[in-house]
Amino acid sequence: MMPSLSYQEKSLYGELIADLAVFVPYFVYMHLHHATLTVSIIAAAITILIAIQIVLQIVIAAFTRNRLKDERDRLIRLRGYRAGYFTIVGVMLFGMGALWVHTTLGQINPTHMALHFLTMFFAVLMIAEIVKTITQLIAYRRPL
Amino acid sequence: MPGLRNTLRDLRATHSMTQQELADAIGVTRQTVIAIELDKYSPSLETAFRIAHVFSVPLEQVFQYDPPSSRKK
């Protein structure tokens, strides 16, 4: 039997939709136009993400009567943040290693290092955010 | 959930109480009551006592613990 979704779950689905709606086009764009990386693209992605989040969360809140958060929600949130933390650590180490290898091989111009690092850092945060949200959604459906 | 069982569903039926009514009485969401009933979540001690208080029964009548040695393999 599939129980109905709580406000927290609906909110998480909203987060996931917003994350994917921004991050997937961002990654595709970055992959196709990696020669034209700019800070403005990252800033635009963050701005669009915040705008979508605000709209979705307002809609979800408007259509949910009971917005109570209890001990199980808090426990699941902690699990999500733990998964996100380990993702940040793991992917960051991998990303820095990749940057080092590409720089050593001469595939990255050292003068663009800061921009490459910024892009990698943003990607790490985005991946960790998605992992965190998915972990929480799974935790809602599994025994704790 | 290994170890902990509960009689929440039976107690609710005895008291003609819905999941939402119990959830409101103990200050959790209906989804948490469902998870407890299905043994998918072990509540905090405070919530466990609140449940017992709502039904006016001792805690042991709501929750039972099976030590590992007595569980089925």
* pLDDT of res. A36: 60
Contacts of A71 in chain B (CB under 8 A): 28, 32, 43-44, 47
Q: Verify whether the Cβ–Cβ distance B31 to A140 is below 8 Å.
A: yes
Structural domain including A18 reads 7-141
How large is the ipTM? 0.84
A72 and chain B in contact, CB less than 8 A = yes
Q: Verify whether the Cβ–Cβ distance B27 to A6 is below 8 Å.
A: no
Chain A residue closest in CA terms to B19: A3
Instruction: Give a yes or no: residue A1 inside a domain.
Output: no
Chain A residue closest in CA terms to B44: A71
Question: Pick from B28, B41, B47: which is nearest to A144 by CB?
Answer: B41
Instruction: Give a yes or no: residue A123 inside a domain.
Output: yes
* pLDDT of res. A39: 78
What is the domain count for chain A? 1
Question: Which residue intervals of A33-70 are DSSP H helices?
Answer: 39-62
DSSP codes of every residue in B6-73: E-HHHHHHHTT--HHHHHHHHTS-HHHHHHHHTTS-PPPHHHHHHHHHHHTS-HHHHEEE--GGGS--
Domains in chain B (CATH in brackets) are: 4-55 (1.10.260.40)
Beta-bridge partners for B63: B6
* pLDDT of res. A113: 81
* pLDDT of res. A1: 46
* pLDDT of res. B52: 96
Q: Verify whether the Cβ–Cβ distance B40 to A143 is below 8 Å.
A: yes
pLDDT of residue B72 exceeding 80, the answer is no
Instruction: Give a yes or no: residue A62 inside a domain.
Output: yes
pLDDT of residue A100 exceeding 70, the answer is yes
User: For residue B30, which of A51, A134, A4 has the smallest C-alpha distance?
Assistant: A4
Instruction: Give a yes or no: residue A132 inside a domain.
Output: yes
Task: Please measure the distance between the N-terminal and C-terminal CA atoms of chain A and give it in whole angstroms.
Answer: 17
* pLDDT of res. B3: 79
pLDDT of residue A124 exceeding 60, the answer is yes
Instruction: Give a yes or no: residue A122 inside a domain.
Output: yes
The three-point CA angle B42-B47-B6 to 5° equals 45
Instruction: Give a yes or no: residue A127 inside a domain.
Output: yes
Q: Could you read off the pLDDT of A37-49 as tens digits, one per residue?
A: 677 888 888 999 9
Can you tell me which residue has the tokens 């208080």? B53
Instruction: Give a yes or no: residue A2 inside a domain.
Output: no
- pLDDT average, residue stretch A17-35: 84
A6 and chain B in contact, CB less than 8 A = yes
* pLDDT of res. B8: 94
Contacts of B42 in chain A (CB under 8 A): 144
Cα gap A71→A80, rounded to integer Å: 14
Q: What percent of chain B clears pLDDT 70, i.e. is strictly above it?
A: 92
Instruction: Give a yes or no: residue A101 inside a domain.
Output: yes
The alpha carbon of residue A82 is apart from the nearest alpha carbon of chain B, in Å, by: 19
The alpha carbon of residue A66 is apart from the nearest alpha carbon of chain B, in Å, by: 8
